[in-house]
Homo-oligomer: A and B are copies of this chain.
């Protein structure tokens, strides 16, 4: 019931019936912690668990057969992780703790029962999935057409906006919890080049850095460089009302 559980997240999309909220909250019971660098799940594991990130940052990543790694997404607290495990029988992407992490573990079967008991809730999961697809499409555009600088800019902007949504205290700065190597794996660049592009952003006066803290000095300009588009408001009126 704190602000970043699944119940809260879903309520924000559309009101939940009390029974539904209770059923969802029931899912989130089992909780575990992982230390920095630990894997919540590995590629090709049996896909029998999903997670809700409670605290810390985590990444979803695939290893390519040449040894390189691509980070598919960076998860922040409150997010559902491993939702592909609903459909897949084998885990498609590893989940790895970037910081110390706490997450609720959801049994795949329990989630299936939830949807059997409350079919309407599938619409909520659909909404979450569609939201994520929107974000993924933007990431595809950034990777496909952005220069190194643009990719880093997009990456920083994305993180900042999401952190801001999570906690309005975040104004124009945040603590970067990823190493430059990880940023490279997320943006399709090498760690060395990430370093240079970061520096370039600093030299251009778009951001400053103090240790791990990134301060965005010129947000509009950074957004322009990142080809950022505000996806605007979303509409969830199509989610059926509770009976």
Contact = CB atoms under 8 A, between A and B. Distances in A.
A149 to B, nearest CB: 12
Contacts of A129: 126, 129-130, 133
A134 interface: yes
How many copies of this protein are present in the complex? 2
Contact of A137 (B93, B127, B145, B238): B93
Contacts of A188: 143-145
B238 A111 contact: yes
Contacts of A145: 64, 68-70, 188
Contact of A224 (B65, B116, B120, B132): B65
Contacts of A119: 119-120, 122-123, 240
B130 A84 contact: yes
Interface stretch (A96-104, A191-199, A213-221, A226-234): A226-234
Interface in A89-133: 89-90, 92-93, 108, 111-112, 115-116, 119-120, 122-123, 125-127, 129-133
